[in-house]
Amino acid sequence: MSGQINAFEMAQKQFDGVAKQLKLDPGVAEVLRWPMREFSFRIPVRLDDGSLRVFQGFRVQHNDARGPNKGGIRFAANETMDTVRALATWMTWKCAVADIPLGGGKGGIIVDPSTLTVNEKEEMCRGWVRAMWKNIGPRNDVPAPDIGTTPQMMGWMMDEYSRLVGQYTPGVFTGKPLGGGGSLGRTEATGYGVIYTVREAMKHLNIDGKNSVAAIQGFGNVSQYAAAGFVEMLGGQVACVSCWDRHEKKAFTYSKKGGVDPRFLLTIVDEYGTIDKAKAQDAGYTVEDGDAWITKEANVLIPAAMEGQVTADTVNKMSKNIKIVAEGANGPCTPEADEYFKKNNIFNIPDFLCNAGGVTTSYFEQVQNDMNFYWSKDEVLGRLDEKMTSAFNSVVDRSEKEKVYMRDAAYMVAIDRVVQAMHLRGWLTGNS
């Protein structure tokens, strides 16, 4: 499904609709609907067998009016420049709606990291930095992990940058390992942030979390902690999770009578989000086709895998009892799916609000790096909860005030903040 959808066209379509509602000046809209800078480069890597292979790398910096660009680096076989453009654009809105002083960036390499050895992955990470080091830094662009990348990779990248600039610079990358400049709470941050917004949505809609059931797509970092948080914080049940099986090259849905146990599944999943199918079946889990997750009986749907998963074709397969769609992934629901949600009075928590916990805690990590003083896990997650709750309330308030859909309200909040920053910096006066 995701291969048939151009994520950047979807991001621009979403923006254009809200720009019209805001009566945004056409010139200002043109500035914001395209990235400010784009980088495309080749990374030569010497493989362990002695051969030399060249990989395609990207970095897009969408808008830095509110602060340094911020955004992950994705290692994926299906990576494209348009996907990176879309993700960088959404990062601008994500940072703005969360009200953190950063802009939007995103990067990647076209590669399946599971096919590489540890040495090859390290060389690729260092090669990406060698290609980009003059255009990143704590004060202009701060990358982080995304799909296919890990805290260890961020540690290698930070080390390479520090070597090139000649000083220890932990704040250039976030999502680093603990003990190597990383922050407590960062691992859980995105998934827990999803649950903080779900909790607030349930309060808003007067839904009891203890009587709620979630169907979750994905079992990477976001899904893992969203699933755990749904059970442990809200007292609800998780009907299923899905995952991409890197061995069989297809997706599967895992369910169990009485609900899945996220903490158990965390013990049998690898670093790429693939659940050990045999161990799951031995523990009584039912394994179905990858698309089965969306059909499960639930009242909360959490697509937390890839973009373009809830579409005009798949949305009709959803349980009729779904009341909340919480977008843990970036761009998981198409505009056609949005129309279905509006028609059926389904409350949507848009991606750049719902999954802003990761970038918010990355910002906290960078602050700690600058101070050279590190907070406790409870401090980090407490600050995250405050930020996510405040962001959710600002979007709900705008939605009710303007009588608009939640995604449109989130865009309105974010666009207003970015445009204000551009005005305050003189970018739109002709004197910049």
Q: Where are the beta strands (DSSP E) in 330-400?
A: 347-349
The answer for 346, left when phi > 0, alpha when psi is -120 to 50, beta otherwise, is beta
Q: With contact defined as beta carbons under 8 Å apart, do 220 and 228 qualify? A: no
Please name the helix (run of DSSP H) or strand (run of DSSP E) that holds residue 26, with its range, or none.
helix 26-32
Tell me the three state secondary structure of residue 237. Answer: strand
* Residue 230 structure tokens: 């749904």
Burial group, residue 50, by CB count within 10 angstroms (0-12, 13-18, 19+): exposed
Q: With contact defined as beta carbons under 8 Å apart, do 329 and 303 qualify? A: yes
Tokens 């590669």 correspond to 111
Q: Which of 410, 384, 386, 385 is nearest to 396 (CA)?
A: 410
Q: Which fold has domain 37-183?
A: Rossmann fold (3.40.50)
The pLDDT score that the predictor gives to residue 271 is: 82
Per-residue pLDDT of the chain (432 residues; tens, 9 = 90+): 344 679 999 999 999 999 999 999 999 999 999 999 999 999 999 999 999 999 999 999 999 999 999 999 999 999 999 999 999 999 999 999 999 999 999 999 999 999 999 999 999 999 999 999 999 999 999 999 998 999 999 999 999 999 999 999 999 999 999 999 999 999 999 999 999 999 999 999 999 999 999 999 999 999 999 999 999 999 999 999 999 898 898 999 999 999 999 999 999 999 888 999 999 999 999 999 999 999 999 999 999 998 889 999 999 999 999 999 999 998 999 999 999 999 999 999 999 999 999 999 999 999 999 999 999 999 999 999 999 999 999 999 999 999 999 999 999 999 999 999 999 999 998 654
Q: Where are the domains of the chain?
A: 37-183
Query: How many angstroms separate the CA atoms of 326 and 349, rounded?
Result: 5
The pLDDT score that the predictor gives to residue 53 is: 97
DSSP string over 149-164: --HHHHHHHHHHHHHH
DSSP structural state of residue 307: S
Reported as a single tens digit per residue, the pLDDT across 284-334 is 999 999 999 999 999 999 999 988 899 999 999 999 999 999 999 989 999
Which one of 106, 121, 296, 387 is the catalytic residue? Answer: 106
The pLDDT score that the predictor gives to residue 164 is: 98
Burial group, residue 6, by CB count within 10 angstroms (0-12, 13-18, 19+): middle
The pLDDT score that the predictor gives to residue 306 is: 87
Reported as a single tens digit per residue, the pLDDT across 135-182 is 999 999 999 999 899 999 999 999 999 999 999 999 999 999 999 999
Query: How many angstroms separate the CA atoms of 395 and 407, rounded?
Result: 9
DSSP string over 69-129: EEEEEEEETT--HHHHHHHHHHHHHHHHHTT-S-EEEEEEEES-GGGS-HHHHHHHHHHHH
Query: How many angstroms separate the CA atoms of 82 and 5, rounded?
Result: 10
Residues 369, 137, 130: CA angle, nearest 5 degrees: 120
Beta strands 237-245; 213-217: pairing state: parallel
The pLDDT score that the predictor gives to residue 4 is: 61
Query: How many angstroms separate the CA atoms of 275 and 265, rounded?
Result: 7
Reported as a single tens digit per residue, the pLDDT across 257-292 is 999 999 999 999 998 889 999 999 999 999 999 999
Q: Which of 273, 268, 266, 279 is nearest to 228 (CA)?
A: 266
pTM of the full predicted structure? 0.92
Query: How many angstroms separate the CA atoms of 234 and 229, rounded?
Result: 7
Query: How many angstroms separate the CA atoms of 307 and 159, rounded?
Result: 31
Q: With contact defined as beta carbons under 8 Å apart, do 229 and 199 qualify? A: no
Active site residue 106: yes
Strands in 347-349's sheet, in edge-to-edge order, are 286-289, 250-255, 237-245, 213-217, 300-303, 324-326, 347-349
Query: How many angstroms separate the CA atoms of 381 and 191, rounded?
Result: 12
Q: Which of 169, 170, 153, 140 is nearest to 71 (CA)?
A: 140
